[in-house]
Structure 1
Protein backbone atom coordinates (compact mmCIF):
# COMPACT_ATOMS: atom_id res chain seq x y z
CA UNK A 1 0.00 0.00 0.00
CA UNK A 2 1.84 3.07 -1.20
CA UNK A 3 0.78 5.89 1.09
CA UNK A 4 1.34 9.61 0.69
CA UNK A 5 1.15 11.84 3.75
CA UNK A 6 0.67 15.59 3.46
CA UNK A 7 2.44 17.15 6.43
CA UNK A 8 0.85 20.61 6.34
CA UNK A 9 2.69 22.22 9.22
CA UNK A 10 2.81 25.54 7.33
CA UNK A 11 -0.45 25.25 5.43
CA UNK A 12 -1.07 24.10 1.87
CA UNK A 13 -1.54 25.74 -1.53
CA UNK A 14 -1.68 24.38 -5.06
CA UNK A 15 1.84 25.38 -5.98
CA UNK A 16 3.20 23.94 -2.73
CA UNK A 17 1.55 20.60 -3.54
CA UNK A 18 3.13 20.42 -7.01
CA UNK A 19 6.51 21.59 -5.68
CA UNK A 20 6.46 18.96 -2.93
CA UNK A 21 5.47 16.12 -5.28
CA UNK A 22 8.25 17.04 -7.74
CA UNK A 23 10.65 17.29 -4.81
CA UNK A 24 9.60 13.79 -3.71
CA UNK A 25 10.50 12.36 -7.10
CA UNK A 26 7.54 12.97 -9.42
CA UNK A 27 8.65 13.85 -12.94
CA UNK A 28 8.15 17.52 -13.84
CA UNK A 29 8.77 16.90 -17.54
CA UNK A 30 6.02 14.28 -17.57
CA UNK A 31 3.83 16.90 -15.87
CA UNK A 32 4.60 19.55 -18.49
CA UNK A 33 3.93 17.09 -21.33
CA UNK A 34 0.65 15.85 -19.86
CA UNK A 35 -0.58 19.39 -19.23
CA UNK A 36 -0.24 20.12 -22.96
CA UNK A 37 -3.32 17.92 -23.40
CA UNK A 38 -5.38 20.81 -22.04
CA UNK A 39 -4.43 22.81 -25.14
CA UNK A 40 -3.87 26.03 -23.25
CA UNK A 41 -0.06 26.02 -23.27
CA UNK A 42 0.05 29.38 -25.06
CA UNK A 43 -1.36 30.92 -21.89
CA UNK A 44 1.30 29.93 -19.38
CA UNK A 45 4.87 28.96 -18.72
CA UNK A 46 5.97 26.50 -16.03
CA UNK A 47 9.08 26.84 -13.94
CA UNK A 48 10.44 24.72 -11.12
CA UNK A 49 13.65 25.19 -9.20
CA UNK A 50 15.31 24.20 -5.97
CA UNK A 51 15.39 26.99 -3.43
CA UNK A 52 16.35 27.12 0.23
CA UNK A 53 13.58 28.27 2.57
CA UNK A 54 14.70 28.94 6.15
CA UNK A 55 17.40 26.31 5.86
CA UNK A 56 15.32 23.67 4.04
CA UNK A 57 16.00 22.83 0.43
CA UNK A 58 12.65 22.70 -1.30
CA UNK A 59 11.19 22.89 -4.79
CA UNK A 60 9.43 26.06 -5.86
CA UNK A 61 6.87 25.57 -8.62
CA UNK A 62 5.65 28.61 -10.55
CA UNK A 63 3.08 29.19 -13.22
CA UNK A 64 3.70 32.38 -15.15
CA UNK A 65 0.82 33.72 -17.21
CA UNK A 66 1.72 34.81 -20.73
CA UNK A 67 0.19 37.63 -22.81
CA UNK A 68 -0.76 39.68 -19.83
CA UNK A 69 0.02 43.29 -19.24
CA UNK A 70 0.84 42.77 -15.61
CA UNK A 71 4.20 41.17 -16.17
CA UNK A 72 5.42 38.55 -13.79
CA UNK A 73 2.58 38.10 -11.37
CA UNK A 74 2.26 34.43 -10.60
CA UNK A 75 -0.84 34.58 -8.51
CA UNK A 76 -3.76 36.67 -9.45
CA UNK A 77 -5.63 35.20 -6.53
CA UNK A 78 -6.53 38.20 -4.51
CA UNK A 79 -6.38 35.63 -1.76
CA UNK A 80 -2.64 35.38 -1.93
CA UNK A 81 -2.08 38.97 -0.90
CA UNK A 82 -1.44 39.43 2.78
CA UNK A 83 -2.66 42.70 4.13
CA UNK A 84 0.88 43.66 5.07
CA UNK A 85 1.63 44.52 1.47
CA UNK A 86 0.85 48.14 0.80
CA UNK A 87 -0.84 48.11 -2.54
CA UNK A 88 0.80 51.32 -3.64
CA UNK A 89 1.79 49.76 -6.93
CA UNK A 90 -1.91 48.93 -7.38
CA UNK A 91 -2.22 46.53 -10.26
CA UNK A 92 -6.00 46.82 -9.89
CA UNK A 93 -6.05 43.09 -9.32
CA UNK A 94 -9.77 42.88 -9.13
CA UNK A 95 -10.15 44.06 -12.72
CA UNK A 96 -7.91 41.55 -14.38
CA UNK A 97 -10.46 39.66 -16.46
CA UNK A 98 -8.12 38.04 -18.92
CA UNK A 99 -8.81 34.46 -17.92
CA UNK A 100 -12.14 34.30 -16.20
CA UNK A 101 -13.60 30.89 -16.88
CA UNK A 102 -16.94 29.49 -15.88
CA UNK A 103 -17.13 26.21 -13.99
CA UNK A 104 -18.50 24.46 -17.09
CA UNK A 105 -15.63 25.75 -19.25
CA UNK A 106 -13.14 24.17 -16.89
CA UNK A 107 -15.05 20.88 -16.73
CA UNK A 108 -15.14 20.77 -20.52
CA UNK A 109 -11.43 21.61 -20.73
CA UNK A 110 -10.61 18.65 -18.48
CA UNK A 111 -13.11 16.23 -20.04
CA UNK A 112 -11.92 17.00 -23.57
CA UNK A 113 -8.28 16.44 -22.68
CA UNK A 114 -6.74 13.07 -23.39
CA UNK A 115 -5.96 12.16 -19.75
CA UNK A 116 -6.44 8.77 -18.16
CA UNK A 117 -9.87 8.32 -16.61
CA UNK A 118 -8.42 8.45 -13.07
CA UNK A 119 -6.60 11.74 -13.67
CA UNK A 120 -9.80 13.27 -15.09
CA UNK A 121 -11.96 12.06 -12.22
CA UNK A 122 -9.55 13.29 -9.56
CA UNK A 123 -9.19 16.74 -11.17
CA UNK A 124 -12.96 17.10 -11.65
CA UNK A 125 -13.65 16.14 -8.04
CA UNK A 126 -11.21 18.77 -6.79
CA UNK A 127 -12.71 21.45 -9.03
CA UNK A 128 -16.21 20.55 -8.01
CA UNK A 129 -15.21 20.93 -4.37
CA UNK A 130 -14.10 24.51 -4.98
CA UNK A 131 -17.00 25.27 -7.32
CA UNK A 132 -19.57 24.14 -4.76
CA UNK A 133 -17.90 26.17 -2.01
CA UNK A 134 -17.78 29.33 -4.14
CA UNK A 135 -21.38 28.78 -5.26
CA UNK A 136 -22.59 28.33 -1.72
CA UNK A 137 -20.84 31.47 -0.50
CA UNK A 138 -21.99 33.65 -3.37
CA UNK A 139 -25.45 32.09 -3.32
CA UNK A 140 -25.40 30.85 -6.91
CA UNK A 141 -25.77 27.40 -8.51
CA UNK A 142 -22.61 25.53 -9.44
CA UNK A 143 -23.03 26.05 -13.18
CA UNK A 144 -23.13 29.82 -12.74
CA UNK A 145 -19.90 29.98 -10.76
CA UNK A 146 -17.18 31.97 -12.48
CA UNK A 147 -13.73 31.48 -11.12
CA UNK A 148 -12.01 34.77 -10.73
CA UNK A 149 -9.64 33.53 -8.06
CA UNK A 150 -9.65 29.92 -9.06
CA UNK A 151 -10.25 29.96 -12.79
CA UNK A 152 -6.93 31.60 -13.26
CA UNK A 153 -4.71 29.34 -15.26
CA UNK A 154 -2.42 28.66 -12.34
CA UNK A 155 -5.17 26.93 -10.39
CA UNK A 156 -6.20 24.80 -13.36
CA UNK A 157 -2.54 23.81 -13.64
CA UNK A 158 -2.21 23.16 -9.89
CA UNK A 159 -5.32 20.98 -9.69
CA UNK A 160 -4.86 19.01 -12.90
CA UNK A 161 -1.13 18.83 -12.14
CA UNK A 162 -1.69 17.40 -8.68
CA UNK A 163 -3.98 14.74 -10.20
CA UNK A 164 -1.39 13.84 -12.86
CA UNK A 165 1.45 13.51 -10.34
CA UNK A 166 -0.51 11.55 -7.70
CA UNK A 167 -1.35 8.99 -10.39
CA UNK A 168 2.16 9.06 -11.85
CA UNK A 169 3.56 8.25 -8.40
CA UNK A 170 1.06 5.35 -8.15
CA UNK A 171 -0.18 6.42 -4.74
CA UNK A 172 -2.78 4.04 -3.23
CA UNK A 173 -3.74 6.02 -0.15
CA UNK A 174 -3.46 9.67 0.87
CA UNK A 175 -3.48 10.90 4.45
CA UNK A 176 -2.86 14.35 5.88
CA UNK A 177 -2.19 16.23 9.06
CA UNK A 178 -4.81 18.64 10.40
CA UNK A 179 -4.73 21.83 8.33
CA UNK A 180 -3.47 25.11 9.82
CA UNK A 181 -5.31 28.00 8.18
CA UNK A 182 -3.65 31.07 9.68
CA UNK A 183 -5.36 34.10 11.13
CA UNK A 184 -5.90 37.80 10.45
CA UNK A 185 -7.39 39.38 7.35
CA UNK A 186 -6.85 39.39 3.61
CA UNK A 187 -7.86 41.60 0.73
CA UNK A 188 -9.83 39.83 -1.96
CA UNK A 189 -12.01 41.06 -4.81
CA UNK A 190 -14.94 41.54 -2.49
CA UNK A 191 -13.11 43.54 0.17
CA UNK A 192 -11.41 42.66 3.43
CA UNK A 193 -12.16 39.14 4.62
CA UNK A 194 -11.20 37.10 7.64
CA UNK A 195 -8.66 34.29 7.37
CA UNK A 196 -9.41 31.56 6.50
CA UNK A 197 -11.22 32.98 3.48
CA UNK A 198 -14.86 31.86 3.33
CA UNK A 199 -14.25 29.55 0.36
CA UNK A 200 -11.31 27.88 2.10
CA UNK A 201 -13.31 27.32 5.26
CA UNK A 202 -16.24 25.92 3.29
CA UNK A 203 -13.95 23.51 1.42
CA UNK A 204 -12.49 22.33 4.74
CA UNK A 205 -15.86 21.40 6.24
CA UNK A 206 -15.43 17.96 7.75
CA UNK A 207 -11.63 18.33 7.82
CA UNK A 208 -9.80 18.99 11.11
CA UNK A 209 -8.35 22.49 10.99
CA UNK A 210 -5.73 23.68 13.36
CA UNK A 211 -5.34 26.95 15.15
CA UNK A 212 -2.26 28.85 14.13
CA UNK A 213 -1.22 32.26 15.33
CA UNK A 214 0.49 33.15 12.06
CA UNK A 215 -1.19 36.26 10.70
CA UNK A 216 -1.26 35.10 7.12
CA UNK A 217 -3.40 32.99 4.89
CA UNK A 218 -1.59 29.66 5.18
CA UNK A 219 -4.09 27.60 3.23
CA UNK A 220 -5.58 28.69 -0.09
CA UNK A 221 -8.87 27.42 -1.56
CA UNK A 222 -6.95 25.39 -4.15
CA UNK A 223 -4.67 23.79 -1.54
CA UNK A 224 -7.65 23.11 0.72
CA UNK A 225 -9.61 21.45 -2.09
CA UNK A 226 -6.71 19.24 -3.15
CA UNK A 227 -6.17 17.91 0.36
CA UNK A 228 -9.89 17.69 1.22
CA UNK A 229 -10.58 15.54 -1.84
CA UNK A 230 -7.43 13.39 -1.84
CA UNK A 231 -6.97 12.63 1.85
CA UNK A 232 -9.13 9.85 3.21
CA UNK A 233 -7.86 10.35 6.74
CA UNK A 234 -6.49 13.22 8.81
CA UNK A 235 -4.09 12.00 11.45
CA UNK A 236 -0.63 12.19 12.90
CA UNK A 237 2.07 10.65 10.74
CA UNK A 238 0.98 7.06 10.06
CA UNK A 239 3.24 4.11 10.80
CA UNK A 240 5.16 3.43 7.61
CA UNK A 241 8.51 2.74 6.04
CA UNK A 242 9.51 6.01 4.44
CA UNK A 243 10.67 5.85 0.83
CA UNK A 244 10.59 9.43 -0.37
CA UNK A 245 10.27 12.90 1.12
CA UNK A 246 9.55 16.16 -0.65
CA UNK A 247 9.38 19.82 0.35
CA UNK A 248 7.31 22.28 -1.68
CA UNK A 249 8.03 25.96 -1.16
CA UNK A 250 5.28 28.48 -0.59
CA UNK A 251 5.36 32.12 -1.62
CA UNK A 252 5.77 33.54 1.87
CA UNK A 253 8.79 33.82 4.10
CA UNK A 254 8.38 33.76 7.87
CA UNK A 255 11.01 34.75 10.39
CA UNK A 256 10.87 31.67 12.52
CA UNK A 257 9.58 28.83 10.36
CA UNK A 258 9.85 27.55 6.80
CA UNK A 259 6.80 28.14 4.59
CA UNK A 260 6.94 24.70 2.99
CA UNK A 261 4.66 21.72 2.58
CA UNK A 262 6.20 18.34 3.33
CA UNK A 263 5.07 15.15 1.66
CA UNK A 264 6.15 11.76 2.93
CA UNK A 265 5.70 8.68 0.75
CA UNK A 266 6.09 5.16 2.06
CA UNK A 267 4.70 1.69 2.44
Structure 2
Protein backbone atom coordinates (compact mmCIF):
# COMPACT_ATOMS: atom_id res chain seq x y z
CA UNK A 1 0.00 0.00 0.00
CA UNK A 2 1.41 3.34 -1.09
CA UNK A 3 1.77 5.28 2.15
CA UNK A 4 2.76 8.84 3.02
CA UNK A 5 4.30 9.54 6.43
CA UNK A 6 4.42 13.05 7.88
CA UNK A 7 7.60 13.37 9.95
CA UNK A 8 6.72 16.52 11.90
CA UNK A 9 9.89 17.05 13.91
CA UNK A 10 9.50 20.81 13.46
CA UNK A 11 5.73 21.01 13.36
CA UNK A 12 3.49 21.25 10.31
CA UNK A 13 1.88 24.07 8.32
CA UNK A 14 0.05 24.20 5.00
CA UNK A 15 2.95 25.67 3.05
CA UNK A 16 5.39 23.13 4.55
CA UNK A 17 3.10 20.29 3.41
CA UNK A 18 2.98 21.57 -0.18
CA UNK A 19 6.73 22.28 -0.21
CA UNK A 20 7.45 18.75 1.01
CA UNK A 21 5.09 17.16 -1.55
CA UNK A 22 6.73 19.11 -4.39
CA UNK A 23 10.15 18.18 -3.00
CA UNK A 24 9.11 14.50 -3.04
CA UNK A 25 8.36 14.71 -6.76
CA UNK A 26 4.77 15.96 -7.09
CA UNK A 27 4.03 18.30 -10.01
CA UNK A 28 3.25 21.86 -8.88
CA UNK A 29 2.38 23.01 -12.42
CA UNK A 30 -0.45 20.49 -12.65
CA UNK A 31 -1.60 21.61 -9.17
CA UNK A 32 -1.59 25.25 -10.31
CA UNK A 33 -3.77 24.31 -13.31
CA UNK A 34 -6.23 22.34 -11.15
CA UNK A 35 -6.52 25.23 -8.67
CA UNK A 36 -7.76 27.50 -11.48
CA UNK A 37 -11.09 25.64 -11.19
CA UNK A 38 -11.74 27.75 -8.06
CA UNK A 39 -11.87 30.94 -10.19
CA UNK A 40 -9.75 32.97 -7.78
CA UNK A 41 -6.44 32.73 -9.63
CA UNK A 42 -6.28 36.48 -10.27
CA UNK A 43 -5.94 36.91 -6.49
CA UNK A 44 -2.65 35.06 -6.10
CA UNK A 45 0.60 33.89 -7.65
CA UNK A 46 2.37 30.72 -6.56
CA UNK A 47 6.10 30.29 -6.20
CA UNK A 48 8.31 27.40 -5.19
CA UNK A 49 12.05 26.88 -5.10
CA UNK A 50 14.91 25.26 -3.25
CA UNK A 51 16.22 26.74 0.00
CA UNK A 52 18.71 25.39 2.52
CA UNK A 53 17.56 25.19 6.14
CA UNK A 54 20.38 24.42 8.58
CA UNK A 55 22.11 22.23 6.01
CA UNK A 56 19.01 20.53 4.59
CA UNK A 57 18.00 21.33 1.04
CA UNK A 58 14.25 21.73 1.02
CA UNK A 59 11.48 23.27 -1.07
CA UNK A 60 9.84 26.52 -0.01
CA UNK A 61 6.32 27.09 -1.29
CA UNK A 62 4.68 30.52 -1.18
CA UNK A 63 1.32 31.98 -2.05
CA UNK A 64 1.82 35.62 -3.05
CA UNK A 65 -1.37 37.65 -2.89
CA UNK A 66 -1.89 40.08 -5.77
CA UNK A 67 -3.35 43.55 -5.44
CA UNK A 68 -6.60 42.07 -6.79
CA UNK A 69 -6.94 39.98 -3.67
CA UNK A 70 -9.75 41.35 -1.56
CA UNK A 71 -8.29 40.09 1.69
CA UNK A 72 -8.10 42.63 4.48
CA UNK A 73 -7.24 42.26 8.11
CA UNK A 74 -10.63 43.45 9.24
CA UNK A 75 -11.94 39.99 9.98
CA UNK A 76 -15.36 39.63 11.46
CA UNK A 77 -17.41 36.75 12.73
CA UNK A 78 -20.67 38.61 12.72
CA UNK A 79 -21.64 38.84 9.04
CA UNK A 80 -24.75 36.84 8.42
CA UNK A 81 -25.03 37.98 4.80
CA UNK A 82 -25.62 35.63 1.94
CA UNK A 83 -23.54 36.19 -1.17
CA UNK A 84 -25.15 35.08 -4.40
CA UNK A 85 -22.34 36.00 -6.75
CA UNK A 86 -21.45 33.90 -9.75
CA UNK A 87 -18.06 33.18 -8.22
CA UNK A 88 -18.91 32.21 -4.69
CA UNK A 89 -15.55 33.26 -3.31
CA UNK A 90 -15.79 36.84 -4.60
CA UNK A 91 -16.91 39.47 -2.16
CA UNK A 92 -15.36 42.27 -0.18
CA UNK A 93 -15.68 41.53 3.50
CA UNK A 94 -12.11 40.32 3.84
CA UNK A 95 -13.21 37.00 5.28
CA UNK A 96 -14.90 34.03 3.72
CA UNK A 97 -17.57 31.89 5.26
CA UNK A 98 -17.28 28.15 5.69
CA UNK A 99 -20.37 27.81 3.49
CA UNK A 100 -18.80 29.80 0.64
CA UNK A 101 -15.66 27.68 0.73
CA UNK A 102 -17.70 24.46 0.63
CA UNK A 103 -19.74 25.78 -2.32
CA UNK A 104 -16.58 26.78 -4.17
CA UNK A 105 -15.01 23.34 -3.68
CA UNK A 106 -18.20 21.60 -4.82
CA UNK A 107 -18.53 23.84 -7.88
CA UNK A 108 -14.92 23.40 -8.94
CA UNK A 109 -15.42 19.80 -10.08
CA UNK A 110 -12.20 18.41 -8.70
CA UNK A 111 -12.07 14.63 -8.68
CA UNK A 112 -13.79 12.85 -5.83
CA UNK A 113 -10.78 12.22 -3.61
CA UNK A 114 -9.55 15.83 -3.90
CA UNK A 115 -13.05 17.14 -3.12
CA UNK A 116 -13.56 14.82 -0.15
CA UNK A 117 -10.15 15.47 1.41
CA UNK A 118 -10.48 19.24 0.98
CA UNK A 119 -13.99 19.33 2.47
CA UNK A 120 -12.98 17.16 5.42
CA UNK A 121 -10.00 19.39 6.27
CA UNK A 122 -12.08 22.59 6.06
CA UNK A 123 -14.80 21.02 8.17
CA UNK A 124 -12.25 20.15 10.86
CA UNK A 125 -11.06 23.76 11.01
CA UNK A 126 -14.58 25.19 10.77
CA UNK A 127 -15.80 23.07 13.66
CA UNK A 128 -12.81 24.08 15.79
CA UNK A 129 -13.29 27.79 15.05
CA UNK A 130 -17.03 27.50 15.66
CA UNK A 131 -16.47 25.74 18.97
CA UNK A 132 -14.08 28.45 20.17
CA UNK A 133 -16.23 31.38 19.02
CA UNK A 134 -19.52 29.76 20.01
CA UNK A 135 -20.89 29.72 16.46
CA UNK A 136 -22.62 27.06 14.38
CA UNK A 137 -20.60 25.85 11.38
CA UNK A 138 -22.60 27.83 8.80
CA UNK A 139 -21.87 31.08 10.68
CA UNK A 140 -18.12 30.53 10.89
CA UNK A 141 -16.01 33.08 9.05
CA UNK A 142 -12.51 31.99 8.27
CA UNK A 143 -10.04 34.65 9.16
CA UNK A 144 -6.78 32.77 9.03
CA UNK A 145 -8.05 30.00 6.81
CA UNK A 146 -10.36 32.17 4.75
CA UNK A 147 -7.24 33.86 3.56
CA UNK A 148 -6.48 32.80 0.03
CA UNK A 149 -3.21 31.15 1.02
CA UNK A 150 -4.86 28.61 3.29
CA UNK A 151 -7.51 27.78 0.69
CA UNK A 152 -4.62 27.10 -1.71
CA UNK A 153 -2.61 25.15 0.89
CA UNK A 154 -5.47 22.79 1.76
CA UNK A 155 -6.83 22.13 -1.71
CA UNK A 156 -3.31 22.11 -3.19
CA UNK A 157 -2.22 19.46 -0.67
CA UNK A 158 -5.27 17.34 -1.57
CA UNK A 159 -4.43 17.67 -5.29
CA UNK A 160 -0.78 16.67 -4.83
CA UNK A 161 -1.56 13.73 -2.51
CA UNK A 162 -4.05 12.46 -5.08
CA UNK A 163 -1.55 13.01 -7.89
CA UNK A 164 1.08 10.92 -6.05
CA UNK A 165 -1.35 8.00 -5.74
CA UNK A 166 -1.22 7.93 -1.95
CA UNK A 167 -3.48 5.23 -0.49
CA UNK A 168 -2.87 5.80 3.22
CA UNK A 169 -1.36 8.49 5.46
CA UNK A 170 0.42 8.18 8.80
CA UNK A 171 2.09 10.84 10.94
CA UNK A 172 4.44 11.31 13.83
CA UNK A 173 3.19 13.00 17.00
CA UNK A 174 2.80 16.75 16.42
CA UNK A 175 4.95 19.32 18.23
CA UNK A 176 3.10 22.60 18.63
CA UNK A 177 5.82 24.85 20.05
CA UNK A 178 5.26 27.18 22.96
CA UNK A 179 5.22 30.88 23.87
CA UNK A 180 2.77 33.46 22.53
CA UNK A 181 1.52 34.72 19.19
CA UNK A 182 -0.25 37.88 18.09
CA UNK A 183 -3.48 37.20 16.22
CA UNK A 184 -6.54 39.27 15.33
CA UNK A 185 -8.13 38.80 18.72
CA UNK A 186 -5.04 39.71 20.78
CA UNK A 187 -2.07 37.89 22.27
CA UNK A 188 -2.71 34.16 22.52
CA UNK A 189 -0.80 31.22 23.93
CA UNK A 190 0.86 28.68 21.64
CA UNK A 191 -0.64 26.37 20.56
CA UNK A 192 -3.40 28.73 19.46
CA UNK A 193 -6.89 27.67 20.62
CA UNK A 194 -7.96 26.52 17.14
CA UNK A 195 -4.80 24.43 16.70
CA UNK A 196 -5.27 22.75 20.07
CA UNK A 197 -8.96 22.08 19.37
CA UNK A 198 -8.07 20.51 16.00
CA UNK A 199 -5.45 18.29 17.66
CA UNK A 200 -7.91 16.72 20.12
CA UNK A 201 -7.27 12.99 19.97
CA UNK A 202 -3.88 13.46 18.25
CA UNK A 203 -0.65 12.84 20.19
CA UNK A 204 1.17 16.12 20.79
CA UNK A 205 4.97 16.03 21.06
CA UNK A 206 6.74 18.33 23.47
CA UNK A 207 9.65 20.51 22.51
CA UNK A 208 10.96 23.74 23.91
CA UNK A 209 10.96 25.93 20.80
CA UNK A 210 9.21 29.18 21.68
CA UNK A 211 7.42 29.63 18.41
CA UNK A 212 4.22 28.48 16.72
CA UNK A 213 5.45 25.32 14.98
CA UNK A 214 2.03 24.00 13.98
CA UNK A 215 -0.68 26.15 12.40
CA UNK A 216 -4.40 25.36 12.34
CA UNK A 217 -4.10 24.47 8.64
CA UNK A 218 -1.16 22.10 9.21
CA UNK A 219 -2.85 20.57 12.25
CA UNK A 220 -6.06 19.93 10.28
CA UNK A 221 -4.23 18.36 7.32
CA UNK A 222 -2.49 15.90 9.67
CA UNK A 223 -5.50 15.29 11.93
CA UNK A 224 -7.87 14.54 9.04
CA UNK A 225 -5.58 12.61 6.70
CA UNK A 226 -3.47 10.51 9.08
CA UNK A 227 -5.04 7.21 10.08
CA UNK A 228 -2.45 6.54 12.79
CA UNK A 229 0.16 8.56 14.69
CA UNK A 230 3.47 7.09 15.78
CA UNK A 231 6.97 6.26 14.64
CA UNK A 232 7.89 5.58 11.01
CA UNK A 233 6.18 2.38 9.88
CA UNK A 234 8.09 -0.50 8.28
CA UNK A 235 8.15 0.47 4.62
CA UNK A 236 10.18 0.38 1.46
CA UNK A 237 11.03 4.06 0.98
CA UNK A 238 10.48 5.39 -2.53
CA UNK A 239 10.73 9.15 -2.16
CA UNK A 240 11.48 11.74 0.50
CA UNK A 241 10.55 15.40 0.54
CA UNK A 242 11.53 18.34 2.75
CA UNK A 243 9.21 21.35 2.96
CA UNK A 244 10.64 24.53 4.43
CA UNK A 245 8.90 26.70 7.00
CA UNK A 246 9.29 30.46 6.99
CA UNK A 247 11.28 30.85 10.20
CA UNK A 248 14.88 29.74 10.63
CA UNK A 249 15.96 28.41 14.03
CA UNK A 250 19.51 28.49 15.35
CA UNK A 251 20.17 24.78 15.73
CA UNK A 252 17.06 23.08 14.43
CA UNK A 253 16.11 22.70 10.74
CA UNK A 254 12.61 24.15 10.36
CA UNK A 255 11.36 21.67 7.78
CA UNK A 256 8.62 19.09 7.45
CA UNK A 257 9.82 15.74 6.13
CA UNK A 258 7.52 13.45 4.22
CA UNK A 259 8.42 9.87 3.43
CA UNK A 260 6.53 7.98 0.72
CA UNK A 261 6.81 4.25 0.25
CA UNK A 262 5.20 0.86 0.09
CA UNK A 263 3.91 -0.87 3.20
CA UNK A 264 3.62 -4.63 2.69
TM-score normalised over the length of structure 2: 0.90
2:138 aligned partner: 143
What secondary structure sits across from 2:251 in the alignment?
coil
Per-residue deviation, 1:99: 3.6
Task: Provide the rounded CA distance (Å) in 2 between the counterparts of 1:98 and 1:18.
Answer: 28
1:1-267 equivalences in 2 (<5 Å): 1-67=1-67, 94-95=73-74, 99-267=94-262
CA distance in 1, matches of 2:139, 2:67: 27
Consecutive unaligned residues of structure 2, counting only runs of 5 or more, are: 76-91
Is the 2:43–2:68 Cα contact (8 Å) retained in structure 1? no
For the Cα contact (< 8 Å) 2:44–2:69, is it kept in 1?
Answer: no
2:42/2:68 contact within 8 Å kept: no
Aligned residues: 246
Partner of residue 83, structure 1: none
Find the residue that maps to 2:253 and give its secondary structure: coil
* Aligned-pair Cα RMSD in Å: 1.5
* Deviation (angstroms), 1:68: 5.9
Once residues 162 and 206 of structure 1 are traced to their aligned partners in structure 2, the CA distance between those partners, rounded to angstroms, is 22
Q: Does the 8 A contact of 1:99 with 1:153 survive in 2?
A: no
Instruction: Classify the secondary structure of the residue corresponding to 2:169.
Output: strand
Task: Please tell me whether the aligned partners of residues 171 and 230 of structure 2 are also in contact (alpha carbons under 8 angstroms).
Answer: yes
For residues 158-200 of structure 1, give each alpha carbon's deviation from its aligned partner in whole angstroms, at most 9, with x where no partner exists: 0000110111001011000000000001111111110000000
Structure-2 change in CA distance of 1:69 and 1:241 (3 Å): closer
1:68, 1:98 within 8 Å by CA — same for their partners in 2? no
Structure 1: stretches of 5+ with no match in the other structure: 71-75, 77-92
